[in-house]
């Protein structure tokens, strides 16, 4: 968690950069056209001294599994266009780290039935997998697992907690 929070400002900044440079968000293409900028000013003072690293490894330390979650509407498994840059970034990272795989965990909020949420969580993971395969990632490098409603990030019964819990979480699996 600590690692995530330290990365968060950088990640948010770069999402912003991707959104601004846009263009690739609507139509998945083999090579994402949005190039992240290297904004050394914004990074100065960060205690991780990330300014020295190449662009792509700024947001994801290989092996660390620090990818952002993507989120879903209630009872849906469509990828939000605002989450596409996250998937594009993971895809690009996978291209540059050829010996690793990513495990996509699909999660649901508590409001569905246990049983159906297990299927829905799998659909959410598969939706991210389909998207990344569509932009050139080899299918066998992306495995899926559904946790249904078994592992909420926030166990409160509020809209805020539910929207946090309806997510795909990405980890580097080997």
Partner 1 sequence: MRTCRPILGLAVALGVLLVGATPAAAPEVHLSITKGFGEKVIVAVPLFHGSAGSASTRDMRSVLSDDLRNSGYFSVVENLAFVDETEADDRRAGRVAFAEWLALGGEVLVKGDVAVSGQELTLEAQVYDLGQGRSIFARRYVGQPAQWRAAVHQLADDIVQHLTGEQGIARSKIAFVSNVTGTKEIYTMDYDGENIRRITKDGLAAMFPAWFSDNSTIAYTRYRGNGQEAVAVNVGSGVIRRLTTFPGLNAFVSASPKGNELVMTLSRDGNPEIYRLRSDGSEPRRLTYGPSTESSPCWSPDGRRVAFVSDRSGAPQIYVMSAAGGAEERMTYQGSYNTSPSWSPKGDLIAYTARVEGVFQVCTVDVETNDVVRLTTGGGNKEDPSWAPDGRHVVYSVRSQRKSDLYMLDIYDLVPGRLTSGAGDHISPAWSH
- Which residues of the chain form contacts with partner 1 (CB under 8 A)? 75, 103, 112-116, 118-120, 122-123, 125-126, 129-130, 139, 143-146, 150, 173
Closest to partner 1 by CB, 75 vs 159, is 75
Three-state secondary structure of 73-142: CCCCCCCCHHHHHHHHHHHHHHHHCCCCCEEEEEECCCCCCHHHHHHHHHHHHHHHHHHHHHCCCCHHHE
**Residue 57 CA from chain centroid, whole number:** 15
Closest approach of partner 1 to the CB of residue 118, in Å? 6
Burial class (CB in 10 A: 0-12, 13-18, 19+), 107: buried
Closest to partner 1 by CB, 52 vs 99, is 99
Closest to partner 1 by CB, 41 vs 99, is 99
Closest to partner 1 by CB, 138 vs 139, is 139
Closest to partner 1 by CB, 75 vs 154, is 75
Closest approach of partner 1 to the CB of residue 55, in Å? 29
Closest approach of partner 1 to the CB of residue 144, in Å? 5
Please name the residues in contact with 147: beta carbons below 8 A apart, sequence gap of 6 or more. Answer: 105, 106, 107, 121
Closest approach of partner 1 to the CB of residue 117, in Å? 9
DSSP annotation of 50: G
Closest approach of partner 1 to the CB of residue 173, in Å? 6
């Amino acid at each position: 968690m600590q690692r995530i929070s330290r990365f968060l400002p950088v990640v948010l900044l770069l999402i912003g950069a991707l959104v601004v440079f846009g263009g690739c968000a609507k139509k998945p293409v083999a090579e994402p056209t949005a190039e992240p900028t290297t904004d050394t000013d914004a990074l100065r003072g960060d205690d991780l001294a990330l300014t020295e690293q190449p662009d792509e490894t700024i947001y994801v330390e290989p092996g660390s599994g620090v990818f952002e979650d993507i989120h879903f509407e209630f009872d849906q498994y469509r990828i939000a266009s605002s989450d596409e840059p996250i998937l594009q970034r993971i895809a690009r990272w996978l291209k540059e780290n050829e010996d690793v795989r990513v495990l996509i965990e699909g999660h649901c909020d508590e409001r569905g039935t246990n049983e159906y949420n297990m299927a829905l969580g799998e659909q959410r993971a598969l939706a991210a997998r389909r998207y990344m395969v569509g932009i050139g990632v080899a299918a066998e490098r992306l495995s899926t697992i559904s946790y249904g409603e078994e592992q909420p990030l926030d166990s409160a019964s509020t809209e805020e907690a539910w929207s946090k819990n309806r997510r795909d979480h990405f980890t580097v699996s080997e």
